[in-house]
Structure 1
Amino acid sequence: MSNPNKQVPIRGLFIDGKEVPASQPELLDVLNPATGEMLAQISHATDADVDKAVKSSAKAFSSSEWSAMSNRTRAKLINKLADVFEANLEEIYTLETANNGRSLNETRAQVSRLPDFFRYNAGLAIARRDSVIPVDGNYLNYTLRTPIGVVGNSTPFNHPLMIMVKSLAPTLASGCTTVVKPSEYTPLTTLRLAELFVEAGLPPGVFNVITGLGPSTGKALAEHPGLAKWVLTGGTEAGRITGALAGSNFAHQTLELGGKTPVLVFDDFNVDQAVNYAAFGAFIGAGQTCICGSRQIVQAKIYDEFVEKLAAKAKSIRIGNPIDPTVQLGPVVSARQQQRVLKYIDIGLNEDKARLVAGGKVPTDASMKDGFFVEPTVFADVTRDMRIFQEEVFGPFVSVTKFTTEEEGLELANDSPFGLAGAIRTNDVTRAHRVAAKLKCGIVWVNDHHRLDPASPWGGIKDSGIGRECGTESFDQHFETKSVMIRLDDAPFDWYKDTASQPRLN
């Protein structure tokens, strides 16, 4: 429980290179999900605050300090930001773990990779080239790319820095500016990174941070006419709502939305290894990942052994305060999220009538009574018509479904409105390629899970969103492309005198 008598920091908005108060006094509590303790209070930005932040970023985008910066100078600055990030990792690990409840070891493994996103995009800033296009006739045709402008970015609670950095790195390296609205549950590391980057020399206004609730602050940012691009990582419904708002202003969009990742486990693969991957895919981050391996689809020959061993693995996972380096599973982010997971456990038991083989409860240990914990939960004998097979839970929750043939397995895997990621467990190389090509999703892992690289495009299809993060795909989406056509012939031109001899495509 939070202690009302304990002094906690009150955080303002970060606009124009400094922390400023919001235009209204309302504050939102930020809790440690492992203990219920209040970590800080944050400002609830109004429409006027959002407008101030967007205008600050627009001004910075147009300023000579930023817009006239050469690609090589910008790349040097982006590399410096990576170095500053890396120099402060220990502080950031601890703050992120306290704020979102992910175990310290998981946080360290993930966040330590993030400086490389800036270095990769700094390299793209130097390496970028515009095209010279061969066209019919005596013409020179080339393209000019210019940064699109202000990018609005709404980030979720599950990976506060990682998901923000996937957008921030190409935004800055391309010469755009940004206004970020972090989740109201997990804003603290985003605010700290903005401070560090300005101290490192990032011009004021290039990276602004506003805090507040999604239906108010987030809505005001998504629909702001000053945005050139809207980026959201969140639920599918939030994507539909904010995508329509941003679309009314014809803003570019990248939306990474919900997921219900199928994992096809074939009987030629080692069962123990498949179980280890299943636990990793399902329970990392307390299952609060859009690519959570939540649907294990297992071939009949190894199905019973797989279920037995996965249940045992889930029961062996050490749950507790994530700041303890021996803890393997922390809490979900909030009481609301805890109740959501418990609701789906009830659905699995009483509506779907699936077989619960592990977990399904809140831990009874007294040390966890004030946190938002749920045991790692495994349901077996799940069929495609069950809600727990079709609907995203976003917690430490996994279902296991049996299949016989490859065709049946693919049909089950693709039976979903989502299409973010999929995974395959097999030692058959030809099968791996064949099945990967037929999975309807944007990311496929073969004999792995949760693997991400700054150079590898990331995103989904169907209800899992549009656009791509990471790779050259993301970097290129931060530019407008202008085609320049130059006539290289001095021969006289008079369309109305000699029409027949002048073939044209206009």
Structure 2
Amino acid sequence: MSSVLSNQQRVPVHGLFIDGRQVPASRADLLDVLNPATGELLAQISHASEADVDRAVKSAHAAFESDEWSAMSNRTRAKLINKLADVFEAHLEEMYHLETANNGRSLNETRAQISRLPDFFRYNAGLAIARRDSVIPVDGNYLNYTIRTPIGVVGNSTPFNHPLMIMVKSLAPTLASGCTTVVKPSEYTPLTTLRLAKLFVEAGLPPGVFNVVTGLGPTTGKALAEHPLLAKWVLTGGTEAGRITGALAGTNFAHQTLELGGKTPVLVFDDFDVDQAVNYAAFGAFVGAGQTCICGSRQIVQDSIYDEFVEKLAAKAKAIRIGNPADPSVQLGPVVSARQQQRVLNYVRIGLEEDKARLVAGGKAPADPSLKNGFFVEPTVFADVTPDMRIFQEEVFGPFVSVSKFSTEAQALAMANDSPFGLAGAVRTKDVTRAHRVAARLKCGIVWINDHHRLDPASPWGGIKDSGIGRECGTESFDQHFETKSVMVRMDDTPFDWYKDTSSQRRLN
């Protein structure tokens, strides 16, 4: 991924962002950042070493301990977080274009997603003001209350698919709670994270509160996850990455939030409008070029509408406009890299040769010669997929969806829950009792009824099983950034001497 540029190939070269400014890394090698739609070089980034990561974490730790940040009142901090939201909002147009160029998501999708992100800061600023500690009724003449204190430095490793959104889900509660952070963005998509860090410091965020180290997972990411000064480790990525880094962070007993892989089942019952089910299926499966952990990749459809659903979904997939994501008329951009493109195409081969499923749409790179240098994959639909097939069980992470048939509600639930993952699920039905009944029995952390891919700053987000632990968003995420201290106050002046007459004592604890 690294290269040496000629004088004719000048592009921006980004250092690390530590202690409020851009600084050079100790390593000389650089990593290329490509435009996935064209394969062209966008920028180069530093490859942070273990020493660089140590410098960043120590900067975050010093900022956490400083009076400027730690002694800041909740209301003052909330005002600052709201100011950061305003600054972010003022630079949205810049962020739309930078993120689209960097990760290949269509401009319309990027605009629709990033435009909501300032509200994540505003929501958490509200929690900072509204939070209360508890007074707990206990037995005896005692006052028991709690004090919550910010946990410290949060290490955050973010993925390539939604660079800003996923980073903001962690950054907003981290800052609003009074913690500090070191973020390692994906080496594929670091540009908007680096830009936001600079904007926030210029807006008044104290130096060292928000640091960014760029580099590769096995080097930079490993050094961050295992750093002994981390109080919390946050990772959004693959399940195997979660196992590896979770074990590293666990050595130092860091708190953890891991949002990992997914294989979202969508249960489509025959009382739901087929055309609407197809529209939701296409949205759930192909938005973000299918590179979402909650991609609606398993469409489980009742037998009486199955054939019609397959036919219409195939037609819908073939009609999606593929092209350069900077063009507002384009509906589907590339996947993030040549490696990811090959991964998706390899699963097409698996679906055809190993699983013997029926390919009804896509399955290859577009023939358009203007797209040949980008990492594009046609929207791909496989039909007649059964739970024993690899394309039913394994996460593809691309514009790739399977369709399976069921007869009864019990059969649909069994198929949906037949997965090592448990991030999200969805139900399509007009029967309100069935909707709630099925939602309760789906083994996952998020369920959408007659919708898909909806997120709100107030709504907890996360999974179970191989999809990870912990929750982002909501009070759940905010509260996970504090340690709770219990204070017990004796409210009785009666003299105490346990050893004067031990036999008369009736209470030890």
Name the TM-score class by shorter chain. over 0.9
Of the three residues 343, 348, 359, the one matched with 1:345 is 348
Of the three residues 17, 22, 25, the one matched with 2:20 is 17
Aligned to 1:227: 230
Aligned to 2:267: 264
The answer to whether the aligner puts 1:109 opposite 2:112 as a matched pair is: yes
Of the three residues 233, 236, 249, the one matched with 1:246 is 249
In structure 2, what residue type is equivalent to 1:124? L
Aligned to 1:136: 139
CA distance in 2, matches of 1:355, 1:218: 40
The answer to whether the aligner puts 1:48 opposite 2:56 as a matched pair is: no
CA distance in 2, matches of 1:320, 1:196: 31
Instruction: Report the Cα offset of residue 367 of structure 1.
Output: 1.1
Instruction: Report the Cα offset of residue 24 of structure 1.
Output: 1.1
Of the three residues 321, 325, 328, the one matched with 2:324 is 321
The answer to whether the aligner puts 1:359 opposite 2:377 as a matched pair is: no
How do 1:90-489 and structure 2 match up within 5 A?
A: 90-489=93-492
CA distance in 2, matches of 1:183, 1:445: 28
Instruction: Report the Cα offset of residue 502 of structure 1.
Output: 3.6
In structure 2, what residue type is equivalent to 1:397? F
Instruction: Report the Cα offset of residue 503 of structure 1.
Output: 3.6
Instruction: Report the Cα offset of residue 499 of structure 1.
Output: 3.4
CA distance in 2, matches of 1:364, 1:56: 50
Secondary structure at the counterpart of residue 426 of structure 2: strand
CA distance in 2, matches of 1:95, 1:502: 71
Q: Which runs of 5+ in 2 are unaligned?
A: none
Instruction: Report the Cα offset of residue 267 of structure 1.
Output: 0.4
CA distance in 2, matches of 1:454, 1:151: 19
What does the per-residue CA deviation read over 1:216-274, in whole Å, with 9 as the maximum and x for residues that have no partner? 00000000001000000000000000000000000000000000000000000000000
Please give the TM-score of this superposition, normalised by the length of structure 2: 0.98
Secondary structure at the counterpart of residue 484 of structure 1: strand
The answer to whether the aligner puts 1:77 opposite 2:80 as a matched pair is: yes
CA distance in 2, matches of 1:492, 1:27: 70
CA distance in 1, matches of 2:106, 2:506: 67
Distance change (3 Å), C-alpha of 1:26 and 1:502: same
Secondary structure at the counterpart of residue 30 of structure 1: strand
CA distance in 2, matches of 1:175, 1:379: 48
Secondary structure at the counterpart of residue 359 of structure 2: strand
CA distance in 2, matches of 1:37, 1:117: 33
Aligned-pair Cα RMSD in Å: 1.1
In structure 2, what residue type is equivalent to 1:50? V
Secondary structure at the counterpart of residue 197 of structure 1: helix
Instruction: Report the Cα offset of residue 500 of structure 1.
Output: 4.5
In structure 1, what residue type is equivalent to 2:338? A
Question: Number of residues paired by the alignment?
Answer: 506
CA distance in 2, matches of 1:292, 1:183: 20
Distance change (3 Å), C-alpha of 1:305 and 1:501: farther
Instruction: Report the Cα offset of residue 433 of structure 1.
Output: 0.5
CA distance in 1, matches of 2:210, 2:504: 55
CA distance in 2, matches of 1:501, 1:462: 52
What does the per-residue CA deviation read over 1:151-194, in whole Å, with 9 as the maximum and x for residues that have no partner? 00000000000000000000000000000000000000000000
Q: Which runs of 5+ in 1 are unaligned?
A: none
In structure 1, what residue type is equivalent to 2:243? R
Identical pairs, percent:
87
CA distance in 2, matches of 1:223, 1:504: 44
CA distance in 1, matches of 2:211, 2:502: 56
Instruction: Report the Cα offset of residue 501 of structure 1.
Output: 4.5
